């Protein structure tokens, strides 16, 4: 799957993904009104609203970008109905040729991790049939439980040709509480990075591995170190835009070949119409605001990468 992602990044010249993290407060009034009128002010109405919102966002940006990253929590909060909208979103993105990175941050052990891997990347067998329940292309995974938690994902990646991004250094302010603690002279995130490099080695697909890392845009210096520790892994970089990361901070996340990183923006794109810069589009043209924000993000990163080389 990493080669498919690379191909699409090269084609679009856009090492970015759009975070489909639809909070109800982002969804324009008109869409909410119509969805509630059709389905009531219910979980089903909320799910319908975020699905309609997503569909317009996807239609407006899919030719510019290689991938999307739906955050499953934003769907799970609406229960079973929300997860139906998640599934529909994944399917629709695939129809539109987009790669889907399921931001699920799952992590457990043994047969439980295997069940999560099957749910999101693989297949489950029921009697004589096999089904791919959510069928994302990549999933994010939490490393706290060690190899027992990761191996079932590696197995499924091998079988299905899919990929994972393992949390190494997250973008949030308190990520250092545990991740930056020094052990044997090096912070935990470096030790996790070393382990990710080892796991990545077992999942190579040509020049890159199907096993990547999550490193926040908000920590560029740490990104520089992890780039060296993980030469064969893609780094999924959240925290661009709304969380404070800028194009110029991102150059160290890339390899000399111009590849190796994919930068995510969620709110900065999907709720762009709420920013002063894109206000002119208005809520009724929120998807055009999103498109403009995608174009600006691509230009910002491209400019930063050119300036650095």
**Nearest approach, Cβ of residue 11 and a second copy (Å):** 30
| Opening angle at CA 258, ends 255 and 262, nearest 5 | 80
Nearer to a second copy, 84 or 96 (CB): 84
Known active-site residue 88 = no
Nearer to a second copy, 9 or 117 (CB): 117
Is residue 94 classed exposed, middle or buried when 0-12, 13-18 and 19+ CB atoms within 10 A define those classes? middle
**Nearest approach, Cβ of residue 2 and a second copy (Å):** 24
- Residue 205 pairs with which residues in a beta bridge? 208
**Nearest approach, Cβ of residue 225 and a second copy (Å):** 18
In this structure, are strands 124-126 and 163-169 parallel, antiparallel, or unpaired? unpaired
Cα–Cα distance, 1 to 214 (Å, whole number): 17
* Token couple for 213: 């890392």
Contact yes or no for 3/208 (Cβ under 8 A): yes
Catalytic residue among 4, 8, 105, 274: 105
| First-residue to last-residue Cα distance in the chain | 28
**Nearest approach, Cβ of residue 73 and a second copy (Å):** 4
How many Cβ atoms sit within 10 Å of the Cβ of residue 303?
A: 12
- Residue 163 pairs with which residues in a beta bridge? 138
Contact yes or no for 45/79 (Cβ under 8 A): no
Q: How far, in whole angstroms, is CA 242 from its chain's centroid?
A: 15
**Nearest approach, Cβ of residue 87 and a second copy (Å):** 6
Nearer to a second copy, 152 or 220 (CB): 152
- The b/e string for 66-92 (b: 16+ C-beta within 10 A; e otherwise) is bbbbbbbebbeebeebbbbbbebbbeb
Nearer to a second copy, 9 or 222 (CB): 222
Nearer to a second copy, 2 or 164 (CB): 164
Nearer to a second copy, 36 or 285 (CB): 36
Helix pair angle (43-61, 79-95), 10° resolution? 20
Compute the Cα dihedral for 126, 129, 133, 136 and give only its sign. Answer: positive
**Nearest approach, Cβ of residue 68 and a second copy (Å):** 16
* Token couple for 154: 């590696």
Residues recognised as catalytic: 105
């Amino acid at each position: 799957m990493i080669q498919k992602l690379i191909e699409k990044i090269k084609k679009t010249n856009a090492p970015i993904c759009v975070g489909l993290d639809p909070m109800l407060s982002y969804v324009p009034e008109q869409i909410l009104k119509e969805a509630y009128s059709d389905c009531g002010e219910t979980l089903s109405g909320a799910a319908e609203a975020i699905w309609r919102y997503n569909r317009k966002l996807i239609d407006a940006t899919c030719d510019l970008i290689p991938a999307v990253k739906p955050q499953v929590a934003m769907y799970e909060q609406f229960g079973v109905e929300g997860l139906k909208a998640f599934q529909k979103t994944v399917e629709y993105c695939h129809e539109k040729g987009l790669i889907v990175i399921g931001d699920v941050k799952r992590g457990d052990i043994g047969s439980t991790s295997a069940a999560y891997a099957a749910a999101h990347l693989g297949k489950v067998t029921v009697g004589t049939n096999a089904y791919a329940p959510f069928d994302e292309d990549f999933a994010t995974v939490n490393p706290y439980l060690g190899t027992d938690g990761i191996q079932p994902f590696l197995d499924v990646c091998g079988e299905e040709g899919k990929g994972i991004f393992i949390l190494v250094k997250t973008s949030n302010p308190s990520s250092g509480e545990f991740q930056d603690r020094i052990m044997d002279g090096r912070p935990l995130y470096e030790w996790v990075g070393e382990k990710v490099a080892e796991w990545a080695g077992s999942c190579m697909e040509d020049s890159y591995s199907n096993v990547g890392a999550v490193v926040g845009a908000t920590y560029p210096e740490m990104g520089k170190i992890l780039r060296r520790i993980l030469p064969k892994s893609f780094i999924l970089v959240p925290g661009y835009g709304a969380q404070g990361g800028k194009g110029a901070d991102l150059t160290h996340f890339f390899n000399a070949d111009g590849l190796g990183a994919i930068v995510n923006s969620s709110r900065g794109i999907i709720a762009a119409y709420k920013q002063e810069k894109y206000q002119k589009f208005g809520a009724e043209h929120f998807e055009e605001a999103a498109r403009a924000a995608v174009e600006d993000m691509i230009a910002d990163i491209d400019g930063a990468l050119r300036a650095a080389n």
